[in-house]
Every structure is written in structure tokens, then in C-alpha cells.
Chain A
Amino acid sequence: MTPLIELKHVYRHFEVNRQRLPVLQDINLSIAANEIVCLVGESGCGKTTTGKILAGLLGPSSGEVLIEGRPRASYTGREAALLRRALQIVHQDPFASINPAHTIGQILGFPLQRHGMVRSRAELRRRIWELLTLVDLTPPGDIVNKFPHQLSGGQRQRVSIARVLTVNPRLIVADEAVSMVDVSIRIGILKMLHRLREQLNLSIVFITHDLALAKYFAWDGRIAVMYLGRIVEIGRTPDVIAHPAHPYTRALLAAVPEADPELTRHKQHLELRSEDIPRLTEIPPGCAFHPRCPFFVPGVCDTRVPPLEPPPDYNQLAACIPLVETGRLIPYTERVNPDGR
């Protein structure tokens, strides 16, 4: 089946102070219809940039974006307009994306009218009611005439999701969509997104830096782990979480505290060789993680850029040459100092 959207060898760079920032390098990612894909990684690794490219808010510097098998550029005229509506993004801060001077009814009404999605006032009203019910803002009558500042953070985020739904999208990129929402309310929004995915046959790209949340949300989808502009590991969520392959994924998972006192206190952490995150202007050669990697193999990791390949005995893809070639990882300290001295 052709995927809904596919990135092929996508690179993206920005020019900052006459310096070239390679923000994304060789991103290959395909998202099937009705699929959930989670992008995780530390701040600045390029999650939002990837999300924007998927949603069509940014173009790639090089590489291809295919939509249902056709290059994005081949969509023109009316098709392009439909495409723009089909791919939507929900931001972290609802305040940045909804106009505080308009009522919720207006916020939802404008896109409906602008895109000619409704023919009469009655239909407009019905559709707004429907959308508010869809995002669990009930009873809608209490909400439509309120202003954004009269809603709680969670409710505002629901409004911004409802607004995205006005144009009947196929893909929603949720960029840290619940990071600013309280823990107690997050789960409700995530469950709603799950339900919307099924009801409306949506694909969801969920961007977060919270691994536990990623695991919960994308349990029947896939996770892609990014580091310094590259995907270093990608696979089905249970595989990646239970048997992380790439050293970076292992370090991340080992570092996350658990909401269980005994478990979290006895968790084995993976000591990195360095805590410095390299700047994008000085990305290390070979595997970008090698200066920090506890399983660093000199002469291999610092010279060859690892491709995403399936390591033996793993179900996912990982960009780690020693693991893919030998099937195991030996700590750097043992390698340089085999007697443990």
C-alpha cells in the first residue's frame, strides 16, 4: 500500500549568521494512512522541523516529499489547496495559534466559511457543535461564546485541535501538543486523539520529548528516535521501548525516571562518555553520537556515517555500525582496558 506521506533522503538546512546549520540530514520516513508515528529526541534535534516538512509548512533543502506516491510539487491548483488542508499541525502553545480576540465559535467558524465547507448559517452552527462535541468540549452551548482566556489550558488545546479538524485533515502533526497541559488532563487529550484517529481515519505524527508519553500514545504505532538531525532508530513502539538497539536510545530509556519508587531507584543507568551536546555547526564526523557513546569503536564510528539497518536479533532499524555488523555492543572502557584496570 502506498503510504500517505513519505520523506525520501530529506535534508534541510538553515542559514544563520552566514553559517550553515544542517538541521536535518537524510531523513527517510513514511507514514501510512491511520498510522501513529512518534518522533522523540532531545531539544534541537530537528523534530519540529521534520513535522513542519511533513505538514508542508517548510520545504526540504533537498530530497523528496511524496504524497500518496506523487511528489508534492505535482500537486497544483485545486489539488494543492486540498493537500494543504489535508496536512495539519497542532502546536505546543495554543495561545500562539488561536486569536485571543475571537470567541471559540468564531475561531472554528472562520476556517469553515473560508474554505466553503458550510452552505448556511444553520449548517455552520451544526458543524461547530459537532466539532466541539468531537473534542469533548460539552455542552457546546457553554463554550461557543467564550474567549480563549476563559478556558483552561487543556480546553484551549482541545479548541486548537477542533480548529484543525474543521478542514477534514488526513494527517495531524501534534508538536508537543500536550507538553503545556497538566499531567492529569494530558491523558484525556491523548485518548481523544486516539478516538479521533479511528473515527476520522487520521494519521498522527506525535512529537514529544517525553518517552513514557510516547510509549503510551504510540503503543500500536512506531517510534522514531532522532539525534542531531538524523533518525538513529525506528521501529514498532514495543520493540524500541523493550529492546532499544541504538546506544543513544538505550541511554535515553535508561535515564528516564519511572513513576514507581522501587523500580526507578534500582534502574541501571548508562553512563555517557561526555555530557556535551555538540553544536549543529560542529557535528562530529561519522556517527554524530560517537563522542558521547559508551560503546564507541574507534576507527569505525568516527569515520563512517551509519545507515539505518536492521541489527541481528532486533525487529527495528538502527543506525549503529558495530551493532549491525557484529550483533553486539562492547563498552568502550572494556575495549580500551580489557582487564578492567
Chain B
Amino acid sequence: MSVKSTVPPAASPVRQMRYLKPFRQRVGEALSSYTARVLLQGLFTVFAVMTFTFFLVRLMPGNPVDIKIDQLMQTQGLTYEQARSQAAGLFDMDLNAPVGQQYLTYVQRVLRGDLGKSILSAGTPVADIIWRFLPWTLFSVGLGLLVSFALGVLIGAAMAYWRGGILDNVMTAVASILYSIPEYIIALLIILVAGVQLQLFQVGELRGGFNPDVAPGFTLEFIGSILKHATLPVITYVLATIGGWILAMKSSTISTLGEDYITVAKARGLSERRVLTAYVGRNALLPLVTRLSVSIGLVVGGSVIVEELFQYPGLGRQLLRAINGRDYTVMQGIFLIIAISVVASTIIADLMLGWLDPRVRVGQKATKG
């Protein structure tokens, strides 16, 4: 018995076609419909948030518009009509139009990227504020999440691989502790211990996104300054989230290592590297990808206090300021952005999951036979 004698003649082109065409077609369709479904869901969510914030600002009893009108009447002694028209100007709304009309105008504007004007710093478009502060948040939160995810996954996988070893025991304790501390406490601890006690840095110096003495530009000095100022918030985000990643990756890897297909892969003589990447790693990552989207959303929201503590010029701090100053238009704009970022991260995670896991892509239909 030799290989030669048992191998059939080369496949005829007809047979080749038979499997190529319908298969490609089927997967193509499934994939596009999956993508379409994910995108549609995302759009719908953003729209719902948009609608919600509009009605929050405009319609609820004791809504900001009415409060502003009352306020104007009391503090500046205006008549109701005057106060109302002034409020309308502030909120950039035509209060005389029917609500439906107002809503349509609002939607049209948002679609054009016009989020109204700030009430506090009168006249500044909300969009400008967002554009100015969003990059900082995206940068610090994004970097923090990336570092935390990558490190957490690596550490968690290593812990599972050398289960019961020193690394596993130490890191399980550390991760559980980190996991249970809220991020603002971590931020405070960093400031108190590293800044005030140990004097590792000057808290005051690290205000803002970069050192104002350095001229902005594509220079090493400027980039260095940006990184330096982002260090503390990023460390905070990493410490606050890495515990969760480590624990999740560890348990996911342990259960994957126990799967039959891992033993089979080893028995097939595959190299350790191939088994650890395509067989263990990829399968163990699946449940984490779903978590990723949730945590992106949480971190954007969670940046509020951290940015305030470190005086970091991000959107979170801006949100806090808007809340304190009852700047509803800015709040509305930021909520919308947060919603969009959550939705966007969900979409990215879903698509990534679809890319990593064929079962999600094609649904649960198994061909029988």
C-alpha cells in the first residue's frame, strides 16, 4: 500500500466548480447579511439615543428649557415671552413650532454634524467643543484599553498555561484585588502615593494634555510631552481594567485547554506554537471579544472622574463641567458621542467575532447528512 496507488485522478474541473461556487456564494451571502444586521442594529441604537436625549432636554416636566425660562424670568426680570425667546436662542430651538417639527429640525442638524451651541460659553458650537476634547479622551482611553487588553490576555494565557505556578498564584491575587478597586480610587492612590508621598512626579506639572511651554507640532519634544501627560490617566485605566482581562482570559484559556480538539491537535503532532495560537488562543479569545465592546463604553463613561482628578483635557472632564453648569446642549452632544462610541465598539467587536468565529457568521445552521 503506497500513497500513489490510493490517490484518485486529479479532480475534474466540473467537480471543482461544484464545490467552489455554491459555497463561496453561501458564505458571501451569510457574511454580508451578518454585517448588514450588525450595522443596522448599531444605527438604530444611535438613533434611539439621539431621540431619547432630545426628548429629555425638551419635553420632560422640569426640563432644562423650562428651567432656563424660569431662571431668566427670575434673575433678569424678563417677561415669559422674552425669556422664552431668549431660551429658544440659547438652545437653538424654535419653541413655537410643534414638537414633531422641532424633533425633525434637530435630527436634520445632528445629521449635518450641528449639535447646537453651548449655553455656558455662549456661542461656542457644541461640535467644536467635542472636536477639541474628544481626541484626548480617545487617545488616553484607547491606549489604556489596548495596553490593558493586550497585557491582560498575555498574562491570563500564561497563567492558565502554567497553572498553579508562581505567576498564576501571585497574579490571581493581584488581578482580583485590582478588579475590585474602582478607577477613581486607583487614580487617587496614584496621586497620593506616587505624587505626594514618594514625590515621583509633580502633580501640578502634569495638568493638561501637554506642557504649554512646548510648541505644538510634529516634534519629538511635543509628542514626548503628550505621552508624559497621558501617562497617569493611562496607567489608571490599565490598572483599573487589567484585572478583569486577566481573570477572564485565564478562565477562558483553562477551559479551552481542556477541550478535546487541543489534545487532538497535540496528538496530530502540531508544533506547540501552532497549537497555542490557532487552537488555544483563538478559541480562548472569543468570549473576551464580546466583553471588549462593553468595556470600551464603560471606560468612556468612567473617564469623567479620572480626567478631573488628573486635570486631563478630555471629554469626560468637559461632561463634568457641563453637568455642573447645567450646559444641556453640551451634555446632549457628549451623550450622543458616548452612545456612538459604545455602538461603534459593539459593531467592531461583533465584526471581529464574526471574523474569528465562523459559527457566529453563518448562524447556527448545521448541514445535516
Does A279 have its Cβ within 8 Å of any Cβ on chain B? Answer: yes
Of all chain A residues, which has the CB nearest B364? A17
The CA of A113 and the CA of B363, in the complex, are separated in Å by 47
Classify chain B's interface size: under 10
Bound-state Cα–Cα, A277 to B368, Å? 7
**B330-369 vs A, Cβ < 8 Å mask (1 yes, 0 no):** 0000000000000000000000000000000000000011
Q: Smallest distance from the beta carbon of A43 to chain B beta carbons, Å?
A: 11
Contacts of B369 in A (CB 8 A): 274-277
Question: In chain A, residues 246-280, which have Cβ atoms closer than 8 Å to a Cβ of chain B?
Answer: 274-279
* Bound form: Cα–Cα A279–B367 in Å: 9
What is the distance, in angstroms, from A273's C-beta to the closest C-beta of chain B?
13
Find chain A residues with CB under 8 A from B368 CB.
276-279
Which residues of B, 89-144, contact A by the 8 Å Cβ criterion?
Answer: none
How many A-B residue pairs have C-beta atoms within 8 angstroms? Tell me.
Answer: 8
Interface string of A220-246 (1 = CB under 8 A from B): 000000000000000000000000000
CA of A282 to CA of B368, assembled, Å: 11
**B26 to A: closest C-beta gap in Å:** 16
Instruction: Looking at the assembled complex, report how far the CB atom of B317 sits from the nearest CB atom of chain A, in whole angstroms.
Output: 46
In the complex, residue of chain B having the shortest beta-carbon distance to the beta carbon of A282: B368
Main secondary structure of the interface of B (DSSP, over half): loop
CB A246 to nearest CB in B, in angstroms, measures: 22
Cα separation A278 to B368 with both chains bound (whole Å): 7
Distance to closest chain B CB from A314 (angstroms) = 31
**Chain B positions within 8 Å of A276 at CB level:** 368-369
Measured in the bound complex, the distance between the Cα atoms of B365 and A279 in whole Å is: 10
- Minimum Cβ distance to chain A for residue B219 (Å): 58
Q: A275 contacts which chain B residues (CB < 8 A)?
A: 369
Task: Give A277 to B369 CA distance when docked, in angstroms.
Answer: 6
| Nearest CB on A from B100, distance (A) | 33
In whole angstroms, what is the CA distance A274 to B368 when docked?
12
**Closest approach, in angstroms, between the C-beta of B194 and any C-beta of chain A?**
47
- The complex places the Cα of A276 from the Cα of B367 at a distance, in Å, of 10
A278 to B369, CA, bound (A): 8
Instruction: State the CA gap A298–B285 with chains docked (Å).
Output: 52
Q: How far is the CB of A280 from chain B (nearest CB, A)?
A: 10
A276 to B368, CA, bound (A): 6
| In the complex, residue of chain A having the shortest beta-carbon distance to the beta carbon of B369 | A276
Expressed in whole angstroms, the minimum distance between the Cβ of B137 and any Cβ of chain A is 40
Which chain B residues in 285-322 approach chain A with CB under 8 Å? none
Considering only residues 45-87 of chain A, those with a C-beta below 8 Å from chain B are none
CA of A147 to CA of B368, assembled, Å: 41
Q: Which residue of B lies closest to A279 (CB)?
A: B368
A279 to B368, CA, bound (A): 7
Give the complex CA separation of A276 and B369 in angstroms: 4
Smallest CB gap from A16: residue in B: B364
User: Which residue of chain B has its CB nearest to the CB of A44?
Assistant: B368
Return B363 CB to nearest CB of chain A, in Å. Answer: 8
CA distance A244 to B369 in the complex (A): 25
Contacts of A277 in B (CB 8 A): 368-369
Q: How far is the CB of A61 from chain B (nearest CB, A)?
A: 23
Q: How far is the CB of B367 from chain A (nearest CB, A)?
A: 9
Task: List residues of A (80-137) whose CB comes within 8 Å of B's CBs.
Answer: none
Closest Cβ of chain B to A42, distance in Å, is 12
Q: Which residues of B have CB within 8 Å of A278?
A: 368
CB distance from B37 to the nearest CB of A (A): 13
- Chain B residues near A279: list those with CB within 8 A: 368
CB distance from B368 to the nearest CB of A (A): 6
Nearest-CB distance from A260 to chain B (Å)? 32
A136–B196 Cα gap in the complex (Å)? 74
CA distance in complex: A315, B369 (Å)? 34
Shortest Cβ distance from residue B43 to the other chain A in the assembled complex, whole angstroms: 22
Contact with A along B134-161 (1 / 0, CB 8 A): 0000000000000000000000000000
Expressed in whole angstroms, the Cα–Cα distance for A210 and B368 within the complex equals 22
Q: How far is the CB of B49 from chain A (nearest CB, A)?
A: 28
Q: Complex: how many Å from CA A275 to CA B368?
A: 9
Closest to B366 in A: A279
CB-based nearest B residue for A278: B368
Docked pose: A278 CA to B367 CA in angstroms: 10
CB distance from B32 to the nearest CB of A (A): 19
Q: How far is A279 from B369 in the complex, measured between Cα atoms in Å?
A: 9
What 1/0 mask marks residues of chain A from 273 to 293 whose CB sits below 8 Å from any chain B CB? 011111100000000000000
**Measured CA separation A277–B366 after assembly (Å):** 12
Shortest Cβ distance from residue B34 to the other chain A in the assembled complex, whole angstroms: 14
- Identify which of residues 167-185 in chain A touch chain B, using a CB-to-CB cut-off of 8 Å: none
Point out the residues of chain B lying under 8 angstroms from A274, CB to CB.
Answer: 369
Chain B nearest CB, measured from A39 CB (Å): 22
Cα of A49 to Cα of B187 in the assembled complex, Å: 57
Q: Give the complex CA separation of A312 and B369 in angstroms.
A: 34
- Chain B proximity of A204: nearest CB distance (Å): 32
Shortest Cβ gap from A278 to chain B (Å): 8
A277 CA / B367 CA spacing, docked (Å): 10
- Measured between C-beta atoms, what is the minimum distance from A288 to chain B in Å? 14
Could you tell me the distance between the alpha carbons of A272 and B369 in the complex, rounded to whole angstroms? 13
Q: Within B247-263, which residues are at the interface with A (CB < 8 Å)?
A: none
A197 to chain B, nearest CB (A): 37
Which residue on chain B has the smallest CB distance to residue A277?
B368
Q: Which of A274, A275, A277, A279 has the most CB of B within 10 A?
A: A279
User: How far apart are B62's CB and chain A's nearest CB, in angstroms?
Assistant: 43
8 A-B pairs within 8 Å (CB atoms) are namely: A274-B369, A275-B369, A276-B368, A276-B369, A277-B368, A277-B369, A278-B368, A279-B368
The 5 nearest A-B residue pairs measured at CB:
A276-B369, A277-B368, A279-B368, A276-B368, A275-B369
Contacts A275-B369, A276-B368, A279-B368 supplied; 5 other A-B pairs, CB < 8 Å: A274-B369, A276-B369, A277-B368, A277-B369, A278-B368
Listed in ascending order, the chain A residues whose CB lies under 8 Å from chain B are 274-279
